[in-house]
């Protein structure tokens, strides 16, 4: 039986990217109006020009700090609330309506309300956290609920303490749920965070630059800043997944490591 030839995953991804850039280029040629749909070369040239300016670096850095802070805060709070709701039914009953409201309310409504409540520079942090929190909470809670009850019984029989049970039973069960949630939410955090920057006119932010591009009909700039958001989101996701993989390998190494016997 012949083995089917398969391209490496990075090459497949690169070909898919080339395909969609080609589609974008063809649409740009058909429309033939740079103010509506600029061509990929025009956007690339403009992006290189922007990268050479200090304003670009400051705006990107401030957006990364705001959105990453919101994401990190949501992950921490989501883990805590997920654990509490999985362990205590009263807490779950109390917090469930709140999370349902957060999931059902449009992002724009929260942004407008936040403009009344808090400083506009902190709104992207708040909105990013708010959009990520329910997903992390739900995934952590589900991971704890789905933990193998037989493994918990074995841990109890062998007299595992809370710390060892957490490390050897709960953590391996919850980590895949948490990792999937973080991977899903990273893009969501960026979309919500940049949208809030657009609406609250946050100083030195990607969202503010997008708004200015729209006002002055600088479509190439708008596309360039959008590409920047996509690239940053992908880079941070890769770094996050690399950190998770490293943590898994270290945990596996620690479990396999055996103490030396004394003679």
Domains, the chain, ordered by start: 55-251 (1.10.3720.10)
Q: Are 136 and 74 in contact (CB under 8 A)?
A: yes
What's the confidence (pLDDT) of residue 148? 74
Scanning the structure block, which residue is given the tokens 């009953």?
93
Quote the CA–CA distance of 155 and 162 in Å, as a whole number.
10
For 219, half-sphere exposure in the C-beta direction (CA atoms, 13 angstrom radius) is 10
What's the confidence (pLDDT) of residue 44? 92
What's the confidence (pLDDT) of residue 58? 92
What's the confidence (pLDDT) of residue 7? 66
Q: Are 135 and 78 in contact (CB under 8 A)?
A: yes
Please give the structure tokens belonging to residue 61. 């850095």
What's the confidence (pLDDT) of residue 1? 47
Quote the CA–CA distance of 128 and 229 in Å, as a whole number.
14
Q: Are 71 and 128 in contact (CB under 8 A)?
A: yes
What's the confidence (pLDDT) of residue 69? 92
Q: Are 126 and 114 in contact (CB under 8 A)?
A: yes
Q: Are 114 and 127 in contact (CB under 8 A)?
A: yes
What's the confidence (pLDDT) of residue 259? 43
pLDDT in tens, 75-97: 999 999 998 998 888 988 998 88
φ/ψ of residue 148, rounded to 5 = -60, 120
What's the confidence (pLDDT) of residue 249? 65
Quote the CA–CA distance of 200 and 208 in Å, as a whole number.
8
Q: What is the pTM of this model?
A: 0.80
Quote the CA–CA distance of 188 and 199 in Å, as a whole number.
17
Q: What is the mean pLDDT of each run of 10 residues along the chain (263 residues)?
A: 63 84 89 85 91 90 91 92 89 88 84 83 89 90 82 72 74 83 85 86 85 86 90 84 70 52 39
């Amino acid at each position: 039986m012949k083995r089917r030839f398969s391209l490496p995953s990075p090459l497949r991804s690169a070909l898919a990217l080339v395909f969609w850039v080609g589609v974008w280029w063809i649409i740009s040629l058909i429309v033939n109006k740079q103010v509506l749909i600029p061509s990929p070369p025009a956007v690339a040239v403009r992006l290189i020009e922007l990268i050479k300016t200090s304003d670009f670096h400051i705006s990107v850095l401030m957006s990364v700090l705001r959105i990453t802070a919101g994401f990190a805060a949501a992950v921490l709070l989501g883990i805590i609330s997920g654990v509490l709701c999985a362990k205590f039914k009263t807490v779950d009953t109390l917090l469930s309506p709140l999370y349902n409201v957060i999931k059902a309310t449009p992002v724009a409504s929260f942004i407008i309300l936040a403009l009344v409540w808090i400083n506009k520079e902190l709104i992207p942090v708040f909105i990013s956290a708010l959009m990520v929190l329910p997903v992390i909470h739900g995934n952590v809670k589900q991971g704890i609920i789905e933990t193998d009850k037989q493994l918990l019984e074995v841990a109890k029989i062998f007299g595992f303490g809370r710390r060892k049970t957490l490390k050897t039973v709960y953590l391996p069960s919850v980590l895949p749920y948490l990792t999937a949630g973080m991977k899903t939410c990273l893009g969501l955090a960026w979309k919500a965070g940049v949208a809030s920057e657009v609406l609250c006119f946050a100083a030195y932010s990607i969202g503010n630059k997008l708004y200015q591009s729209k006002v002055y009909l600088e479509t190439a700039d708008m596309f360039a800043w959008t590409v920047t958001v996509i690239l940053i989101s992908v880079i941070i996701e890769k770094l996050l997944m690399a950190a998770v993989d490293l943590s898994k390998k270290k945990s596996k190494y620690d479990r396999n490591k055996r103490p030396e016997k004394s003679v």
